[in-house]
């Protein structure tokens, strides 16, 4: 299977301080990577570096392109829109656009062929996330869970090969969290998407993900790799869960 | 006989056409660690804001510490608020003051005759006892989310409150800090005889440390779970679903 | 316009609250007020001096055209200064200050409101009026009033500089007819305007941001409203202050404050 995301000798630069992530990871479609760690350990910075919002150095293979940065640099995409979806921690919805427009905005930059089937796609997604009734509303009229669902759905409308979510379950009540996680899980289970997300719950990471990246409070990796390897190294955890 | 901290009698609240709370009648008693739970958007935060008089109900009556809010003058209300402290979801630190000044600020304002170095020493003690490990001289915007949360709790504890109203104390925090905050809640509750009313999504902590859970759903008080430590299942499937999902997330 | 009644009630409670707290001595916050005032003056000092020099210059250039027609060049300095003191100086610089100080404080207070800092104060049993609004109100008032007064002096200097460089006037010639045209009342009129504009900017900025909505949009709306309301108020106030000043002078003379 072709790897969608490969990392080697990866360094991050939060607050201009080099921080070794040093991880060797190889992820392909259908995999899911959970990033766990205390607050402020650089989970967001790692996710942002994958879409060119934070500098990194090292080797990175993303889809078909290969990047080798000996010096810290922002990732530059050859084309404007790669099939990568990124959901921000703070939703980043546009306050001046309605729910519908927020969703269709993501599709607006796509090729002609795909825009023709966009409306039905949007409708299906809106119904799936339960926002069809409130599609004319503006983001400020939505509850926290609804906003988050919309933010995640907005990344899904591009049918991304890599789906990156920054703490999509933080601050949600269990019912909303469940519905969002089911949505993400279904996307991964179709087998064409790689999911990379940071989260807070260890139980969830251990039960539903194929790969793990654990960071300590200063941002150094404690564990990185397959979940089976993790259980091999820590058999007592298998026993507990 | 004990008077309830808060008692709601047939309280309703609307925002425009949208009903947020409808016909709520509930008493919350002192000495308990009460959790208020429910899906987002059912008016849990509004419930707290109403209880402390930050907003007025459309119908019904609210008593805070046995006194009806509608008859209370603003000066009486602020005298009561010193003992009943609201901790907002957003840490809401004063961004023109350093961490230590933020913690000492309310005490210095209430007692201008107090010696500032003494107050700051006390503030450092409180911060350390909560497990704060950062420096004291930094500005709030340099704090991590977890640190800011601890500072905002410490600021409230400086006034020795009788009741703390806490809006989502663990939201956005990692598991270690969450457990830390839970410990803080239990400790203040036990040691200082301080009742806590907590709005939270964290089912695990509610089931382990709570004395009572009020479950809100669809503008109503849906269930009142006494003694959550022995909670196994509830006759209502909705409540069950909520708590089952909640143990994973 | 939609909620005129609610707005009126808000305005009334805010004004009463502010007035009752403004005249109650709360000495512990003097350092806060003084630091705030100095900081605000520092941020707008350069702008005030620079713009007031040019305001004086404009007046000289405009008047010179007509005055030279009557060959009354000696009156030019006094004429321009009188117009500057009585009318144009405070107004033009007031516009600039409403953007500089007013918008700054409005965005600060509205952000504090949006991030729950004001509610936190009242949840700690403290008064947000006493600790946030009143100090800032006094700071803007003092800073704007001082800057406006400074701009009057700056305007006269600017007028002289332009007259000296463009029309070769000596300093004696420029100031020679001052005692003809400029009485104490001109100066008082200028100061009276400075006070009025200062308090208007302070009041409007604090009121608009204090009653802002608690959201990101609330902050931007508050800043926008503050700018517009300040400018409107300055134009309207300018009409009234010119009109009421004569009445005020009469009253002051009657009580023997002025001779």
C216 chain-A contacts, CB cut-off 8 A: 95
- pLDDT average, residue stretch A201-205: 82
Q: Do A39 and B173 touch (CB under 8 A)?
A: yes
| Closest CA of chain B from C157, distance in Å | 38
Q: Which residues lie closer than 8 Å to A117 by C-beta, 6 or more apart?
A: none
- pLDDT average, residue stretch B208-220: 87
The three-state DSSP-derived secondary structure of B146-213 is: HHHHHHHHHHHHCCCCCEEEEECCCCCCCHHHHHHHHHHHHHHHHHCCCEEEEECCCHHHHHHHCCEE
Tell me the two tokens of residue B126: 């409180």
Q: How far is CA C105 from CA A151, B60, C35, C47, C102, in A?
A: 33, 38, 14, 17, 5
**Half-sphere exposure (Cβ direction) of C52: Cα atoms closer than 13 Å:** 26
**What pLDDT was estimated at residue A112?**
47
C120 chain-B contacts, CB cut-off 8 A: 86, 88, 92, 94, 152
DSSP 8-state code for residue C100: I
* Structure confidence by residue, pLDDT tens digits, A148-179: 888 888 888 878 888 999 888 887 888 888 88
Q: Give the best residue of C125, C129, C135 to mutate against chain B (max B CB count within 10 A).
A: C125
A176 chain-B contacts, CB cut-off 8 A: 39-40
In a domain, A241, yes or no: no
Of the candidates C140, C108, C129, the residue with the CA atom closest to the CA atom of residue C204: C140
Closest C-chain CA to A140: C215
* C 15-44: CB under 8 A from B: 28
Q: Does any CB of chain B come closer than 8 Å to the CB of residue C127?
A: yes
Q: Which residues lie closer than 8 Å to C163 by C-beta, 6 or more apart?
A: C60, C64, C76, C77, C80, C169, C174
Q: What domain range includes position A175?
A: 30-53+82-233
Report angle CA A147, A148, A153 to the nearest 5 degrees. 100
Q: Do B144 and A39 touch (CB under 8 A)?
A: yes
Of the candidates B52, B92, B106, the beta carbon closest to that of C117 is on B92
In a domain, A146, yes or no: yes
**What pLDDT was estimated at residue B103?**
92
**What pLDDT was estimated at residue C207?**
93
Q: Does any CB of chain B come closer than 8 Å to the CB of residue A233?
A: no
Of the candidates B143, B144, B141, the residue with the CA atom closest to the CA atom of residue A40: B144
The three-state DSSP-derived secondary structure of C62-130 is: HHHHHHHHCCCHHHHHHHHHHHHHHHHHHHHHHHHHHHHHHHHHHHHHHHHHHCCHHHHHHHCCCCHHH
A140 chain-C contacts, CB cut-off 8 A: 215, 217
C217 chain-A contacts, CB cut-off 8 A: 95, 140
Closest A-chain CA to B143: A40
Q: What residue has token string 């409308």? A: A157
**What pLDDT was estimated at residue A238?**
65
Chain C interface with A: residues with Cβ < 8 Å:
215-217
Q: Are B218 and B42 in contact (CB under 8 A)?
A: yes
In a domain, A197, yes or no: yes
| Closest CA of chain C from A96, distance in Å | 10
Percent of chain B beyond pLDDT 90?
10
Chain A contact partners (≥3 CB pairs within 8 A): B, C
| Cα B59 from chain centroid (whole Å) | 24
Q: Does any CB of chain B come closer than 8 Å to the CB of residue A90?
A: no
Of the candidates A181, A173, A221, A219, the residue with the CA atom closest to the CA atom of residue A199: A181
Tell me the two tokens of residue C95: 């516009």
Q: Do B78 and C127 touch (CB under 8 A)?
A: yes
Of the candidates A7, A36, A19, A147, the residue with the CA atom closest to the CA atom of residue A89: A147
A172 chain-B contacts, CB cut-off 8 A: 40, 201, 249
Of the candidates A169, A174, A200, the beta carbon closest to that of B203 is on A174
Strand locations in chain A (E): 3-12, 19-20, 25-28, 32-36, 56-62, 65-73, 84-87, 162-165, 194-198, 211-215, 221-226
One DSSP character per residue, chain A reads: --EEEEEEEEEE-GGG--EE----EEEETT-EEEEE--TTSSHHHHHHHTTTSS-EEEEEEETTEEEEEEEEE----SSS--SEEEE-TT----TTS-HHHHHHHHHTTS-HHHHHTHHHHHHHHHHHTT-STTTTS-GGGS-HHHHHHHHHHHHHTT--SEEEESSTTTT--HHHHHHHHHHHHHHHHTTS-EEEEE-S-HHHHHHH-SEEEEE-TTS-EEEEEEHHHHHHH-HHHHHH-
pTM of this structure:
0.78
Structural domain spans, chain C? 28-254
Q: Does any CB of chain A come closer than 8 Å to the CB of residue B219?
A: no
Q: Are C55 and C96 in contact (CB under 8 A)?
A: no
Q: Find the radius of gyration of the CA atoms of chain A.
A: 18
- pLDDT average, residue stretch B106-128: 89
- pLDDT average, residue stretch A187-195: 87
Q: Is the pLDDT of residue A84 over 70?
A: yes
CATH of the domain at A114: 3.40.50.300
Of the candidates B39, B178, B247, the beta carbon closest to that of A173 is on B39
What phi and psi values does residue B175 have, to the nearest 5 degrees? -65, -35
| Range of lowest pLDDT (B99-113, B160-174, B235-249, C217-231) | B235-249
Strand locations in chain B (E): 6-15, 18-28, 33-37, 59-64, 67-68, 84-87, 163-167, 195-199, 212-217, 220-226
What phi and psi values does residue A196 have, to the nearest 5 degrees? -120, 120
Tell me the two tokens of residue C180: 């003809």
**What pLDDT was estimated at residue A113?**
47
Q: Are B234 and B202 in contact (CB under 8 A)?
A: no
Q: Are B103 and B130 in contact (CB under 8 A)?
A: no
C215 chain-A contacts, CB cut-off 8 A: 140
In a domain, A174, yes or no: yes
Maximum C-alpha span of chain C:
70
Closest C-chain CA to A141: C215
Of the candidates B145, B242, B249, the beta carbon closest to that of A39 is on B145
Q: Report how far residue C63's alpha carbon sits from residue C92's, in angstroms, rounded to the nearest whole number.
A: 17
Maximum C-alpha span of chain B:
57
Tell me the two tokens of residue B130: 């909560």
pLDDT (tens place) for every residue of chain C, 259 residues total: 567 888 888 889 889 888 888 877 665 677 788 888 998 899 889 999 999 999 888 888 888 888 888 877 788 888 888 888 887 888 888 898 888 889 999 999 999 888 888 888 888 778 888 888 888 899 999 999 999 889 988 998 998 898 888 888 888 888 877 777 777 778 888 888 888 999 999 999 999 999 998 888 889 999 999 999 999 999 998 888 877 777 777 777 777 766 5
Closest B-chain CA to C114: B92
| Closest CA of chain C from B117, distance in Å | 17
Q: Report how far residue B53's alpha carbon sits from residue A215's, in angstroms, rounded to the nearest whole number.
A: 43
In a domain, A14, yes or no: no
Of the candidates C28, C119, C122, the beta carbon closest to that of B78 is on C122
B175 chain-A contacts, CB cut-off 8 A: 200-202
pLDDT grade for A108, boundaries at 50, 70 and 90: low
Tell me the two tokens of residue A62: 């993303």
B106 chain-C contacts, CB cut-off 8 A: 124-126
Q: Report how far residue A93's alpha carbon sits from residue A72's, in angstroms, rounded to the nearest whole number.
A: 30
| Closest CA of chain C from B82, distance in Å | 4
Q: Give the best residue of A41, A145, A175 to mutate against chain B (max B CB count within 10 A).
A: A175
Tell me the two tokens of residue B19: 């009903």
- pLDDT average, residue stretch B155-164: 89
Q: Do C123 and B52 touch (CB under 8 A)?
A: yes
A95 chain-C contacts, CB cut-off 8 A: 216-217
| Range of lowest pLDDT (A48-52, A155-159, B219-223, C243-247) | C243-247
Tell me the two tokens of residue B204: 């695990």
Report angle CA A142, A147, A148 to the nearest 5 degrees. 155
Chain C contact partners (≥3 CB pairs within 8 A): A, B
- pLDDT average, residue stretch B29-34: 87
Closest C-chain CA to B77: C125
**Half-sphere exposure (Cβ direction) of C251: Cα atoms closer than 13 Å:** 5
Q: Do A144 and B40 touch (CB under 8 A)?
A: yes
Q: Report how far residue B171's alpha carbon sits from residue B40's, in angstroms, rounded to the nearest whole number.
A: 12
Q: Find the radius of gyration of the CA atoms of chain C.
A: 21
| Closest CA of chain A from C124, distance in Å | 25
Q: Is the pLDDT of residue B29 over 70?
A: yes
What's the domain count of chain A?
Answer: 1
Q: Do C125 and B81 touch (CB under 8 A)?
A: yes
**What pLDDT was estimated at residue B99?**
92
């Amino acid at each position: 299977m072709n790897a969608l995301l490969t990392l080697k000798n990866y360094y991050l630069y939060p607050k201009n301080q080099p921080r070794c992530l040093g991880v060797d990871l190889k992820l392909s479609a259908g995999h899911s990577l959970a990033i766990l760690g205390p607050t402020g350990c650089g989970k967001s910075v790692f996710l942002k570096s994958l879409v060119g919002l934070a500098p990194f150095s090292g080797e990175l293979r993303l889809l078909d392109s290969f990047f080798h940065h000996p010096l810290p640099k922002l990732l530059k995409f050859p084309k404007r829109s790669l099939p990568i979806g990124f959901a921000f921690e703070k939703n980043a919805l546009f306050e001046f656009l309605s729910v519908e427009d927020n969703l269709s905005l993501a599709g607006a930059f796509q090729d002609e062929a795909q825009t023709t089937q966009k409306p039905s796609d949007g409708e299906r997604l809106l119904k799936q996330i339960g926002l069809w009734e409130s599609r004319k509303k503006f983001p400020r009229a939505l509850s926290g869970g609804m906003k988050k669902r919309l933010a995640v759905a907005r990344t899904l409308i591009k049918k991304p090969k890599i789906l990156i979510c920054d703490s999509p379950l933080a601050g949600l009540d269990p019912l909303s969290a469940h519905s969002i996680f089911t949505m993400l899980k279904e996307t991964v289970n179709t087998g064409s998407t790689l999911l990379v997300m940071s989260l807070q719950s260890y139980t969830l990471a251990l039960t539903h993900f194929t790969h793990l990246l654990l960071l300590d409070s200063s941002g150094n990796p404690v564990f990185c790799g397959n979940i089976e390897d993790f259980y091999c190294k820590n058999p007592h955890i298998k026993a507990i869960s | 006989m004990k008077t309830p901290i808060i008692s709601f009698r047939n309280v309703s609240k609307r925002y425009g056409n949208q009903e947020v709370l409808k016909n709520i009648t509930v008493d919350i008693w002192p000495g308990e660690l009460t959790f208020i739970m429910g899906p987002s958007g059912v008016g849990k935060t509004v419930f707290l804001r109403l209880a402390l008089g930050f907003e007025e109900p459309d119908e019904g009556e609210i008593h805070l510490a046995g006194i009806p809010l509608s008859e209370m003058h603003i000066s009486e209300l602020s005298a009561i608020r010193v003992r009943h402290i609201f901790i907002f979801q957003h840490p809401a630190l004063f961004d023109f003051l350093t961490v230590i000044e933020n913690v000492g600020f309310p005490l210095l304002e209430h007692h201008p005759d107090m010696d500032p170095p003494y107050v700051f020493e006390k503030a450092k003690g409180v911060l350390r006892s909560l497990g704060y490990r950062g420096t004291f001289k930094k500005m709030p915007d340099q704090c991590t989310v977890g640190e800011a949360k601890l500072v905002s709790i410490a600021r409230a504890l400086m006034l020795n409150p009788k009741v703390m109203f806490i809006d989502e104390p663990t939201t956005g925090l990692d598991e270690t800090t969450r457990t830390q905050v839970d410990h803080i809640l239990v400790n203040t509750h036990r040691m200082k005889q301080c009742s806590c009313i907590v709005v939270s999504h964290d089912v695990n902590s509610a089931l382990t440390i709570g004395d009572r859970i009020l479950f809100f759903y669809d503008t109503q008080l849906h269930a009142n779970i006494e003694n959550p430590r022995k909670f196994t299942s509830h006759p209502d499937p909705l409540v069950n679903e909520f708590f089952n999902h909640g143990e994973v997330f | 316009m939609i909620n005129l009644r609610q707005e009126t009630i808000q305005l009334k409670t805010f004004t009463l609250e502010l007035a009752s707290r403004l005249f109650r001595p709360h000495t512990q916050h003097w350092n806060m007020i003084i630091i705030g005032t100095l900081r605000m003056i520092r941020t707008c000092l350069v702008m005030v001096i620079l713009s007031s020099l040019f305001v004086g210059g404009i007046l000289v250039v405009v008047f010179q055209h007509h005055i030279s027609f009557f060959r009354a060049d000696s009156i030019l300095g006094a004429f321009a200064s009188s117009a500057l003191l009585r009318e144009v100086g405070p107004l033009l610089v007031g516009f600039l200050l409403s953007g500089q100080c007013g918008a700054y404080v409005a965005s600060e207070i509205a952000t504090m409101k949006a991030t729950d800092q004001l509610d936190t104060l009242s949840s700690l049993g403290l008064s947000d009026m006493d600790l946030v609004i009143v100090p800032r109100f006094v700071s803007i008032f003092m800073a704007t009033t001082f800057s406006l007064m400074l701009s009057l002096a700056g305007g006269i200097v600017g007028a002289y500089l332009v007259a000296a460089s463009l029309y070769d006037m000596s300093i004696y010639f420029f100031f020679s007819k001052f005692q003809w045209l400029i009485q104490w009342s001109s100066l008082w009129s200028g100061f009276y305007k400075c006070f009025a504009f200062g308090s208007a900017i302070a009041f409007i900025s604090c009121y608009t941001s204090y009653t802002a909505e608690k959201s990101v949009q609330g902050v931007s709306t508050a800043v926008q409203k503050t700018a517009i309301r300040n400018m409107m108020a300055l134009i309207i106030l300018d009409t009234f202050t010119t009109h009421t000043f004569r009445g005020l002078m009469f009253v002051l003379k009657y009580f023997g404050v002025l001779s």
